Structure 1
Amino acid sequence: MTVGSYTLANNKTLWFFVIDLPVGDDGKRRQYKRRGFPTKTIAETAETEARHAYGEASINVDGSVAAELQGWLAERELDIQETTLDNYRNLFRMYVIPHIGGRQLYSIDKRVIHDMYKTLLREGGNRKKPLSPTTVRTVHRVIMKAFKDLGINLDGVRQPRPAERENHGRKGVWTPGESKAFLKFHREARLYAAWALAVVAGTRRGEIAGLRWAKVDLDRGIVYIHIQRTICGNKVIEKSPKGKSRRPIAIGPAMVKVLREHKARQDAEKAEAGILYRDRDYVFPREDGEPYYPRYYTDQWEDACMAAGVPVIVLHDARHTSATAGADAGVPEHVMQKRLGHADARTTREVYTHVLPESERRAAELMDSALGDDAG
């Protein structure tokens, strides 16, 4: 795919675009060209529309990349989590099919893949902004997996080098002082216990949204992570966390106290609502007992950060904060790995923090201190 310019005899500059089409029956290369656009922006917009239209028109053409990838996704419904499959589907729709969806699968070689990667890195994001190397590397891993299953072995395909970032994608990590300031400010807030669990135990948004009281043992100080409530496409689903994400998390006396107070508040809401309350055993439901849409927690968290006057970090970065605090206190790497539910210790070590060379109960007690003196 190319966008370029040419000059007329009167020195007026016009723009054109060229799109590579599937190889013809005779094996020869084919292209779709349009010219005469007054500006580069208009040409680029027309090129994007043409690529999408062609990709969509070719979706059902036997042997096309688009059709074969659709077939692969249908087969993998048997063994891949629905949310993961939805992520794959979006990757193909946004980054692969617009570029090579109309090509015949047999015509794909490493040059075609490399050209796609270069285009994505240069202008694959929204409004033709560069796409991050991390996203393109994800595209690479998924499409290579699909091609291998489809019997297409592309030797020599290179994936983009990793982005050179020291924070490994972390948007923010609070200091212990900032954690305490945030939690102290929201001590009377309705979602205080949810925020405390995120910071103290490093729970994910979906784990908070799907948590049931049946899986909270306050007498023993254990929260069992068994269900995630998450967004999949345009719907909300509940599923078991994959791998080691299904786990028990030890919590200390202060966190137990916070959850007991939260349950008392919830019981009062239930009594006030009467027959209007739908008790589905969620730990953090709406006032009528129904679960929140998962993104609600994300939006409320951002507002809560601003209200407390602490650096605004995303909700998932509460896990980074929890891991970093544990590392700074000397909690062993394998303990934090189990506590956070990472399948690979590398994730704990490289993405979240460097853990220094005690026990899970020690980790619970250390993180429990973030709740401050007023929780004891």
Structure 2
Amino acid sequence: MARVRHRLRRHRSHTTRERYDDLIRLHILPPSGDLQAAELDAELLERFYARLHRCRSLCKGKARAGHTCRPLSSSTTRKIHYIIRGALARAVRWRHLGVNKAEMAIAPSPQRTEPDPPGADEAARLLNAAWSGPEWGLLLWLTGPRRGEVSALRWRHIDFERGLLTVHRSNAPTKAGIMEKQTRTGPARMNALDEDTVELLTTHRQRGESRCDELGITLSSSVA
């Protein structure tokens, strides 16, 4: 199995590739050892997924000092299944294997979650508490874009006269630091801003300009 490595498609984002690399390193290669890909079958894979759901360390269920079983989520286990299936599919295309046994295995069912958003009173208390720090309050106020999109915003992306915010890019954490990438929805999109949001952003910009004046520099439209 260790000889069949999943080659990630070029259109995958850098963060997705890093995540897949981690899943391969942590959960696929260690238990596979010197197992040959041809030795895999649907039963073996489904037992493997079931064990991951009990404990990500693949322990035998016996209590031991310093160990607490932590199951993998079904979404993570499904990703592992897709990685293995993709690796074996490539091996079939390259004629290293005759059959992709992972195609016969059943991926773990996704877990359904029940969202529990805050009520109107809770949201109001949260926002009021956040405004003790103006930057933090403004971040929570901008609930339209995602967090990574908000952190990638620059002043040039805001049209104060028309009340429009253009979302171009998104920031994502990587092992090497923060990387700017395309947004999850693809092309740039425009969000309409209400008068209160425009006023808050104007105040935020003026606060930034005042800080720059104190330092003897000019606030650039290319900064957040």
Normalised by the size of structure 1, how large is the TM-score? 0.50
**Once the 2 structures are TM-superposed, how far is the Cα of residue 196 of structure 1 from its aligned partner?**
0.7
* CA contact 1:137–1:159 (8 Å) conserved in 2: yes
Q: Please say if 1:114 is aligned against 2:46.
A: yes
Q: Please say if 1:265 is aligned against 2:195.
A: no
**Once the 2 structures are TM-superposed, how far is the Cα of residue 243 of structure 1 from its aligned partner?**
3.4
Q: Please say if 1:98 is aligned against 2:30.
A: yes
* Secondary structure of the corresponding residue to residue 5 of structure 2: helix
Q: Which AA in structure 1 matches 2:17?
A: L
Deviation per CA, 1:92-133: give whole Å up to 9, x if none: 122211222532223222122112101101111684322222
> Equivalent residue for 1:205?
147
Consecutive unaligned residues in structure 2, runs of 5 or more: 58-66, 93-98
* Secondary structure of the corresponding residue to residue 161 of structure 2: coil
The 1-side partners of 2:221 and 2:155 are apart by: 9
Partner residue of 2:182 out of 227, 240, 245: 240
Change in Cα spacing, 1:180 to 1:117, as seen in structure 2 (3 Å) is: same
**Once the 2 structures are TM-superposed, how far is the Cα of residue 175 of structure 1 from its aligned partner?**
1.6
> Equivalent residue for 1:228?
170
Q: Percent identity?
A: 25
1:86-235 pair list within 5 angstroms: 86-124=18-56, 127-151=68-92, 153-154=100-101, 155-165=103-113, 167=114, 170=115, 172-187=116-131, 189-191=133-135, 192-198=137-143, 201=144, 203-235=145-177
Bigger Cα Rg = 1
Q: Which AA in structure 1 matches 2:21?
A: R
Change in Cα spacing, 1:269 to 1:129, as seen in structure 2 (3 Å) is: same
1:1-376 pair list within 5 angstroms: 65-69=1-5, 72-73=7-8, 76=9, 78-124=10-56, 127-151=68-92, 153-154=100-101, 155-165=103-113, 167=114, 170=115, 172-187=116-131, 189-191=133-135, 192-198=137-143, 201=144, 203-244=145-186, 246-275=188-217, 279=220, 281-283=222-224
Q: Which AA in structure 1 matches 2:51?
A: T
* CA contact 1:206–1:228 (8 Å) conserved in 2: yes
Deviation per CA, 1:169-192: give whole Å up to 9, x if none: x4x412222222222333352312
User: How many aligned residue pairs are there?
Assistant: 207
The 2-side partners of 1:121 and 1:93 are apart by: 18
Q: Which AA in structure 1 matches 2:30?
A: P
Q: Which AA in structure 1 matches 2:216?
A: G
| TM-align CA RMSD | 2.5
The 2-side partners of 1:96 and 1:245 are apart by: 35
**Once the 2 structures are TM-superposed, how far is the Cα of residue 216 of structure 1 from its aligned partner?**
1.3
* CA contact 2:163–2:192 (8 Å) conserved in 1: yes
The 2-side partners of 1:88 and 1:270 are apart by: 42
**Once the 2 structures are TM-superposed, how far is the Cα of residue 259 of structure 1 from its aligned partner?**
0.7
Deviation per CA, 1:139-169: give whole Å up to 9, x if none: 223332333233252242111223354x1xx
Deviation per CA, 1:325-346: give whole Å up to 9, x if none: xxxxxxxxxxxxxxxxxxxxxx
* CA contact 2:152–2:169 (8 Å) conserved in 1: yes
* CA contact 1:99–1:116 (8 Å) conserved in 2: no
Consecutive unaligned residues in structure 1, runs of 5 or more: 1-64, 284-376
Q: Which AA in structure 2 matches 1:141?
A: Y
